[in-house]
Amino acid sequence: MTLPLVECIPNYSEGRRPEVVEQIAASILAIPNVRILDRHSDVDHNRTVVTLLGDPQAVSEAVFRSIAKAAELIDLNKHEGEHPRIGATDVVPFVPIRDISMSECVELARSLGKRVADELGIPAYLYEEAAQTPERVNLENIRKGQYEGLKKEIQKDPSRKPDFGPAALGSAGATVIGAREALIAFNVYLNTDDVSVAKAIAKTIRFSSGGLRFVKAMGVLVEGRAQVSMNLTNFRKTSIALVVETIRREAQRYGTIIHHSELVGLVPQEALVDAAVWYTQLDQFDPLQVLENRLVSADQTMSADYTFLDDLASDQPTPGGGSAAAFSAAEAAALTAMVGRVTQGKKKYESVEAEAKEIVAKSEALREQLTQAIKEDAAAFDHLMSAFKLPKETEEEKATRTLAIHEASIMAAQAPLETARMSLDVLGLADRIAQIGNLNAITDAGTAGALSRAAVSAAGANVRINLANMQDDSQAARLLNEVDEIETSTEAKYADLKNRLKERANITLL
């Protein structure tokens, strides 16, 4: 099974002393299962941005150690730079990457904030998705007045009290921690040293001043050039191309031009492809027309399948039959969607195109749910195994263990039962697309039906084994009755599917 991955992009208020940055990076790399993907230091901003990726708990530990190291080596009382800041480790956003939800990233941010306050004595603020009040969603509200202003106000203004930690700033300042979607740190340099031009353009394009949605911007002087420094918080709704062209037009008004641009940290490939499509005016572009995307898509599909099969063949009890049932049903849903897609756009089947599209949408939704069910079934069984391992020395421990086993058994049965329900739904869709869909793909619809039927049978067996010793329990009896009903409906629907194949293509399905 794939492991969850989280990205974290801590910003440190140091960009002029490489030896300090190296020590901070070393504190991160000392933690296993964490990789530094990128590191960007800017002398004028006096700031370093590190992008790291890894297991959520490992990343949290690595960032905590880096905050401690930065507090040891950076004195905000002596710090100067173009970029706003309130802390030695100024801001720490968590970004969900794979198999981790935004709510889980919020929990990471909050637990790290509490730990930073409790163990390091550094005030911690929560922002973006982790914010506990609307006023603290936007980072600039928390960072108002920077270190010097906050140092004065934090002790006397209740609205500036941190979410965790003391209402006083030491030499490490405060740290802002949160969770958000991926953003793009993007800077545009102008062919002038007049920073007032960059500031005027920044005011025009940033959303807070009435400009472009999802753009935060300021004007600064960097390397002798006026720079429009930006964060693009949703590149899908406000693209890089739109931002660049808006700046280009505004620059012309002030008698200058764009000199060059730069990225700080990493950028989603999709954002650059979107810019390329915009500038080249590609019509009806499909991301899978990019060779690397097509290769990655194929590799990921093969890798995911073989990783699951390797796990299934291992000496571990999970994943087991329930997960295998969900996997088979997900395959059936994918095949059903495929038959629906090859039916669309064909003149011969234009009368059923709308229904074929609906079948595709429903099949894809079921495929996504069944893919998630693979993990949920394994997790439910692992929970049951943990219940069996509870101590049973005293009467109280025995009672606690018995209750835990009962609840875990019900949970372990409900997971494959839900798979059985969804598998029957897939079978219904396979039957319908076999009836109306592209005749050239009818055996694929038949294969989807056979896989769905097998998934129901396998899931039902797993429901029964988990409830084997609970026949007298009313909740267990209800689940077992539902399994019987699903299996009866499955056989009837499968018989219908066999008739479709016989009638339309003279194919016999066993």
Task: Give the burial string for 277-303 (b: 16+ CB within 10 Å, else e).
Answer: eeeeeeeeeeeeeeeeeeeeeeeeeee
* Alpha carbon distance 458, 301 (integer Å): 24
Spot the catalytic one: 79, 83, 163, 431.
83
> Distance between CA atoms of 139 and 464, rounded to whole angstroms?
53
Alpha-carbon distance of 288 to 269, in angstroms, equals: 13
Whether the CB-CB separation of 385 and 11 falls below 8 Å is answered with: no
The residues with which 232 forms a beta bridge, in sequence order, are 184, 215
Residue 482, amino acid: E
Q: Does residue 189 contact residue 227 with C-beta atoms inside 8 Å? A: yes
Q: Pick from 314, 482, 332, 346: which is nearest to 413 by CA?
A: 482
* CA pseudo-torsion sign 464, 470, 472, 475: negative
123, 129, 119: which is closest to 160 by C-alpha?
123
Q: Point out the catalytic residue in the list 42, 55, 274, 377.
A: 377
The amino acid occupying position 380 is: A
- Residue 45 designated active-site: no
Sign of the Cα pseudo-torsion (166, 172, 174, 180, in order): negative
Q: Which of 341, 333, 429, 338 is nearest to 372 (CA)?
A: 333
CA 113/CA 116 separation, integer angstroms: 5
Closest CA to 430 of 484, 360, 482: 360
Three-state secondary structure call for residue 42: strand
**Sheet of 184-190, strands arranged across:** 215-222, 225-232, 184-190, 258-264
Tokens of 379: 């997790």
Task: List phi, psi (to 5°) of 215.
Answer: -125, 125
Q: What angle do CA 110, 115, 118 make, to 5 degrees?
A: 125
Quickly count: other Cβ atoms within 10 Å of residue 440's Cβ. 12
Q: Is residue 377 among the annotated active site residues?
A: yes
Q: Hey, what amino acid is at 75?
A: D
With 0-12 / 13-18 / 19 or more C-beta atoms within 10 angstroms meaning exposed / middle / buried, residue 216 is buried
Report the alpha-carbon distance of residue 111 to residue 115 in Å, rounded. 6
Q: Phi and psi of 124, rounded to 5°? A: -125, 135
**CB distance 349 to 343 below 8 Å:** yes
Would you tell me the crossing angle of helices 102-120 and 56-73 to the nearest 10 degrees? 40
Residues labelled catalytic: 83, 377
